[in-house]
Amino acid sequence: MKNLILLFSFLFFSAVNAQTRITGKISAEGNALGYASVSLSKTKFGVTADSLGNYTIQNVTRGEYEIRVSHAGFKSQRKKITISDSTTIVLDFDLKADNALEEVVVTGTLKAVNRLESPVPVEVYKPVFFKKNPTANIFEALQNVNGVRPQLNCNVCNTGDIHINGLEGPYTLVLIDGMPIVSGLSTVYGLSGIPNSLLERIEIVKGPASSLYGSEAVGGLINIITKNPKSAPVVAADVFTNSWGETNADLGFKTNIEKTASLLTGVNYFSYSNPIDNNHDNFTDVTLQDRISVFQKWNFNRKSNRLFSMAGRYFYEDRWGGEMQWEKKFRGGSEVYGESIYTKRYEILGAYELPVTEKILFSFSYTDHDQNSVYGNIPYLAQQKIGFSQLTLDKKIQKHDLLFGTAVRYQFYNDNTSATAKADQSWIPSLFVQDEIHLAEKHNLLLGARYDYNSKHGNIFTPRLAYKWKMNDNSILRFNTGTGFRVVNLFTEEHAALTGSREVIVLEDLKPERSYNANVNFLKKFYSKDGDFIGLETTAWYTYFTNSIIPDYDTNPNQIIYKNLDGYAVTKGISLNLDAVFQNGLKIIVGGTYMDVNKTENGVKTQQILTEKFTGTWAITYRVKKWFLDIDYTGNVYGPMRLPHLGANDPRKKYSPTWSIQNIQLTFNRFKNFEMYGGIKNLLNWTPNKGNPFIIAGADDPFDQDVQPGELTFDPGYVYGPNQGIRSFFGIRYTLK
């Protein structure tokens, strides 16, 4: 009997000792991820990781299992495990964000909705994407977004705009927190003053959105969502410099005002004061700049948890470009050529959810833009004020998700040019309605329409339709169609009208442009059992324009002629985005776009100027965990584009070559709260002067004092890419959460 008891005890303790302990740590992007759920297949075991991401599962017997880790906002991860003896198994997990596919977006429908559920395709880019290629402002940061191209418009002062799918900058609406405050003058002179430090995310809609946002949203829109003070870091700092002498500093901090509000303050400073002339034309290759931007945002705490936020930003910039010997004392004179621009701008915006049963939101913004500039000896003094308010009602009735809205926009513009005999003031009231209908379990239909009254152009009506078919959790088909309109303001949009010696000719009273668009979007997601992810998204579009207003550089090389096109213009194309995340630390984002942008007048079809046939972008990241190192390789490639050529006497190329800008960066994140990064920009040392005898026409006589018949007059508009060659950079980030 004693022997049986001993034998039983031995077998019992052997079985207990054969049980295994599984432990490990859960992280995301290398940082501890707390409170993730951990479960073991074929068992009832389930635990929650602690605040530091540590977890332990006790007393697991021999066998084959699958362990699953999940956390809201991240892609679940599974790993197979075989237990054959008694031991402690360490199993770590590094979860990946679901690649923005599960992000909440607001731009496509003016409602907060899961990106996958939106009938309008919206692309989302977060700060981690832009950190792969650090830049001093959002304008430059967009160079690695497929189908979006920051376009420089002047070799001297380096002003620019943003092209979407080949359409010029005035067709792109830039919003900040949904407010259309980047408009008119600021689309040319204010884009470089929006710092990345403001950024929570950027939402991009490609294609007309005039039925929700009115004029300027013909080609697409970019919505810059600023940081939420409640979730922002306590302190954040980012400083970098490069071998050309550019320095950029971002500083942000937040505080809580007792229980009343959360306050976020951000300051950005950029400086470049090192004239460089690598192409030997006696003109600065890159504009010299000093600018400062101060931003503050308040989120007020209300007992009802309703939204109330206000934000303000002040921006000042002093930039100049010109002959290398230019100094401030030459400003506005005819002795030494320089383009000098002083810009002062402030913005106020806010949103207040009314204390009523229905969900009613009142949004408002006001901007004041003052510009004092000279182009050689030509002064351009301009003031612009834009006020905007909007009231929306969001209501669900059975299968209908309704949105009713009304808006009013006030515009004031005045300058010292002969085209503006008196200040231009206008009020534009608007009404819009939208109904998203849940047709069936996987089918949604969105109908929308907007009515605007413009005092100059009368009644404008813009309808739209969107359809979404969610085939399954990993496949979505979307179809969108609608109309758009644009009212042009030449002297705030067309920089070439102010610089150089071309004469601006306006042949008629310009009517609003109208557009008719259709696009198809297909999204497909692939997941492996090991947690790898691949996302494919493709879009085909077609847009037809009437009354198109395209500057004519061809008829007379010494003139820019404006009139409504006696014919039509078309933009069409197809784009593909691939987003892949692998468990071995490799991330790949690749995009390609092929497009055809042309106009037809009197039966003659011509390609739009400064528009490429194809473009490609990429961002490839590899993480070496044991070295605490991230390696980022980013770049873009652009196909040939027709350039603003000055005729038979111009020896410069009529078409650009295929060109590419590529960058590499190393980021070291071994130390808590600190990141150090550095690398090389423009690895190929590409600049537009390659293969051309010169870039700026008439650079030796910028005031056209000695121009002989048949010689080229001064013109800095032959520009399609940055003049800045290869350079190194180094920076440090500090974040205290």
The pLDDT of residue 699 is 93
Locate 347 and state its tokens. Answer: 């913005």
Enumerate residues 6+ apart whose C-beta is below 8 A from 709. Answer: none
Q: How far apart are CA 493 and CA 398, in angstroms?
A: 45
Residue 637, CA distances (Å) to 41, 137, 140, 143, 584 in order: 47, 21, 15, 10, 27
Helix, strand, coil % in the chain, rounded to nearest 5: 10, 55, 35
Name the token pair of 366.
Answer: 């006001």
pLDDT mean over 576-603: 92
Separation CA 639–CA 483 (nearest Å): 29
What is the model's pLDDT at position 220?
Answer: 85
Q: Is 270 helix (H, G, I), strand (E, B) or coil?
A: strand
Average pLDDT over residues 13-34: 70
Q: What is the mean pLDDT of residues 63-68?
A: 85
Q: What is the pLDDT of residue 7?
A: 47
Q: Which of 423, 388, 58 is nearest to 213 (CA)?
A: 388
Is the model's pLDDT at 494 over the cut of 60?
no
d(CA 18, CA 338): 82
Per-residue pLDDT band for 73 (boundaries 50, 70, 90) equals low
| pLDDT, average across residues 517-542 | 90
Structure tokens, 91? 């199993």
Residues 123 and 148 sit within 8 Å (Cβ to Cβ): no
Least confident of 20-24, 100-104, 224-228, 728-732: 100-104
307 vs 180: CA distance, rounded Å: 20
Cβ atoms of 620 and 587 closer than 8 Å = yes
Report residue 618 as tokens.
Answer: 């990429």
Mean pLDDT for the stretch of residues 483-489: 76
What is the residue type of 76?
S
The pLDDT value recorded for residue 299 is 92
Q: Quick check: 478 pLDDT over 50?
A: yes
How far apart are the C-alpha atoms of 467 and 520, rounded to whole Å?
Answer: 10
Instruction: State mean pLDDT over 176-183.
Output: 82
Which pLDDT value is given to residue 174?
A: 86
- Of the pLDDT bands very low, low, confident and very high (cuts 50, 70, 90), residue 609 is confident
Tokens of 649: 């006497």
Could you give the C-alpha distances from 674 to 51, 139, 279, 354, 667, in angstroms and in order?
21, 26, 39, 42, 10
Cβ(337)–Cβ(321) below 8 Å: no
Specify the range with the lowest mean pLDDT, choosing from 261-265, 443-447, 449-453, 510-514.
Answer: 510-514
* pLDDT tens profile 342-361: 999 999 999 999 999 899 99
Q: Is the pLDDT of residue 611 over 70?
A: yes
The one-letter code for the residue type at 421 is A
What is the band of 273 on the pLDDT scale with cuts at 50, 70, 90? very high
Query: Of residues 48 and 147, which shows the higher confidence score?
Result: 147
Q: Which helix (H) or strand (E) holds 128?
A: helix 127-130
Residue 12: per-residue pLDDT: 44
Give backbone dihedrals phi and psi of 423, rounded to 5 degrees, phi first: -60, 140
248 in Cβ contact with 239 (< 8 Å): yes
pLDDT confidence bin for 613, thresholds 50/70/90: very high
pLDDT value of position 668 = 95
CA distance 703 to 691: 26
Contact 459, 453 (CB under 8 A): yes
Rounded Cα distance, 472 and 101, in Å: 14
**Residue 177 carries which DSSP code?**
T
Q: Mean pLDDT: which of 154-163, 179-188, 476-485, 546-555 is highest?
A: 476-485
**What are the φ and ψ backbone dihedral angles of 179, each rounded to 5 degrees?**
-100, 130
For tokens 């297949």, what's the residue?
Answer: 41
pLDDT-based confidence at residue 421 (cuts at 50, 70, 90) = confident
The whole-number pLDDT of residue 18 equals: 53
Q: What is the pLDDT of residue 198?
A: 78
Write down the mean pLDDT value for the chain.
86
Q: Tell me, what's the pLDDT at 10?
A: 44
Query: What is the token pair recorded at 266?
Result: 């951000």
Categorise residue 510: left if φ over 0, alpha if ψ from -120 to 50, beta otherwise: beta
- Dump the DSSP string for 347-388: EEEEEEE-SSSSEEEEEEEEEEEEEEEEETTEEEEEEEEEEE
Q: With 90 as the cut, is the pLDDT of residue 197 above it?
A: no
For the ranges 23-27, 30-34, 499-503, the lowest mean pLDDT is seen at 499-503
Residue that wins the pLDDT comparison between 113 and 276: 276
Alpha-carbon span 632 to 641, nearest angstrom: 28
> What value does the mean pLDDT take over residues 370-385?
91
Sequence-ordered list of residues with C-beta below 8 angstroms from that of 565, at least 6 positions apart, any chain:
545, 546, 547, 548, 549, 550, 599, 601
pLDDT at res. 490: 61
Q: What pLDDT is recorded for position 422?
A: 84
Domains of the chain: 2-97 (2.60.40.10), 104-224 (2.170.130.10), 225-736 (2.40.170.20)
Q: Is residue 491 predicted with pLDDT exceeding 60?
A: no
2 is written with which tokens?
Answer: 């004693």
One-letter amino acid at 621 equals T
Q: Do 696 and 337 meet the contact criterion of CB atoms below 8 Å apart?
A: no
**Per-residue pLDDT band at 188 (split at 50, 70, 90):** low
Classified as helix, coil or strand, 156 is coil
**β-strand pairing of 475-486 with 123-125:** unpaired
- DSSP classification of residue 642: B
Q: Is the pLDDT of residue 568 over 80?
A: yes
The mean-pLDDT minimum among 10-19, 182-191, 238-247, 409-418 falls in: 10-19
Query: Which tops the pLDDT comparison, 363 or 737?
Result: 363
Pick the range with the lowest mean pLDDT from 223-232, 332-341, 671-680: 223-232
Q: Is the pLDDT of residue 61 over 60?
A: yes
pLDDT of 492: 55
Question: Which pLDDT value is given to residue 97?
Answer: 63
| Structure confidence at residue 508 (pLDDT) | 74
Chain centre to alpha carbon of residue 370: 25
Q: How many helical (H) and strand (E) elements, i.e. helices and strands, does the chain have? A: 6, 44
Residue type, 213: Y
Tens digit of each residue's pLDDT (9 = 90 or more) over 135-160:
998 889 999 999 999 988 888 988 88
Asked whether the predicted pLDDT for residue 514 surpasses 70, the reply is yes
**Mean pLDDT computed over 183-201:** 75
Task: State yes or no: pLDDT of 409 exceeds 70.
Answer: yes
Task: pLDDT band for 34, please (50, 70, 90 cuts).
Answer: confident
Which residue in 134, 84, 147, 138 sits closest to 241, CA to CA?
Answer: 134
β-bridge mates for residue 390, sequence order: 363, 407
CA nearest 191: which of 238, 156, 149?
149
pLDDT of residue 541: 95
What is the C-alpha to C-alpha distance for residues 617 and 132, in angstroms, rounded to an integer?
13
Least confident stretch, 71-80, 286-295, 710-719: 71-80
- Split at pLDDT 50, 70, 90, the class of 468 is very high
Mean pLDDT of 500-512: 70
Three-state SS for 583? coil
Query: 65 with 52: CB under 8 angstroms?
Result: no
Structure-model confidence comparison of residues 485 and 447, the more confident one: 447
Model pLDDT, residue 36: 79
pLDDT reading at 16 higher than 50: no
Instruction: Tell me what pLDDT residue 210 has.
Output: 65
Which of 503 and 536 is assigned the larger pLDDT? 536
Exposure pattern of 650-683 as b/e (b: 16+ CB <10 Å)? bebeeebeebebbbbbebebeeeeebebbbbbbe
Mean pLDDT, rounded, for 220-232: 86
